[in-house]
């Protein structure tokens, strides 16, 4: 029992780390864990990973909102940009922000699809959602449901494939 608790604690840590640093793949870790320790129920693994992922993404969300101050070394240096390129990007972001305000169901759907399929990447959507002032409850609920479904399917896949074959 202690081994499973230790594995789940490590899984939580890896899921938070992968939420903060996209170079870490919690998907590969989860598949390896399921293959090594098939006694862990898929839903427990999905719950732990989804919780860690949302916890990590919440830091991105709040940083984009301006509620968390980033260390100075993470700030971009101001440089001259093409005014036309900046205008297109700013126009798109403003349009996204307005859509989030005026169409909360649309904002929730974008968050849910991104959390489930990672298209568009959930890391980017978490940042833009924070900047667009999407309600925290919308971010938490849709993000958690999407991440739980994603990692639940991933955790159940090896067992389902073994039973199918």
How confident is the prediction along the chain (165 residues), in pLDDT tens digits per residue? 558 899 999 999 999 999 999 899 999 999 999 989 989 999 999 999 999 999 999 999 999 998 887 777 666 676 666 656 567 778 888 888 898 889 999 999 999 999 999 988 999 999 999 999 999 999 999 999 999 999 999 999 887 887 887
Task: Confirm whether 75 is domain-assigned.
Answer: no
Task: Confirm whether 91 is domain-assigned.
Answer: yes
Task: Confirm whether 148 is domain-assigned.
Answer: yes
* List of E strands, the chain: none
CA 159 – CA 165 distance, rounded (Å): 10
- CA-nearest of 4, 3, 29, 5 to 16 is 29
Q: What is the pTM of this model?
A: 0.86
Residue 30 has which token pair?
């989860």
Task: Confirm whether 82 is domain-assigned.
Answer: no
Task: Confirm whether 131 is domain-assigned.
Answer: yes
- CA-nearest of 104, 102, 93 to 136 is 104
Task: Confirm whether 80 is domain-assigned.
Answer: no
Q: What is the pLDDT of residue 87?
A: 77
| Residue 110 domain boundaries | 2-70+87-164
Q: What is the pLDDT of residue 143?
A: 97
Task: Confirm whether 22 is domain-assigned.
Answer: yes
Task: Confirm whether 79 is domain-assigned.
Answer: no
Q: What is the total count of domains within the chain? A: 1
Sign of the Cα torsion 42, 43, 44, 47 reads positive
Q: What is the pLDDT of residue 159?
A: 79
- CA-nearest of 137, 159, 141, 147 to 116 is 147
């Amino acid at each position: 029992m202690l081994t499973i608790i230790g594995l789940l604690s490590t899984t939580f840590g890896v899921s938070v780390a992968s939420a903060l640093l996209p170079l870490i793949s919690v998907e590969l870790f989860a598949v390896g864990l399921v293959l090594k320790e098939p006694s862990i129920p898929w839903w427990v693994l999905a719950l732990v990973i989804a919780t860690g992922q949302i916890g990590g993404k919440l830091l991105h969300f709040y940083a984009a909102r301006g509620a968390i101050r980033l260390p100075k070394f993470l700030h971009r240096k101001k440089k001259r940009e093409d005014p036309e390129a900046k205008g297109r990007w700013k126009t798109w972001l403003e349009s996204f922000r307005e859509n989030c305000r005026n169409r909360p169901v649309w904002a929730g759907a974008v968050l849910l699809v991104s959390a489930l399929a990672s298209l568009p990447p959930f890391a980017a959507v978490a940042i833009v959602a924070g900047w667009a002032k999407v309600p925290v409850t919308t971010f938490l609920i849709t993000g958690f449901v999407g991440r739980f479904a994603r990692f639940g399917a991933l955790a159940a896949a090896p067992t389902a494939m073994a039973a199918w074959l």
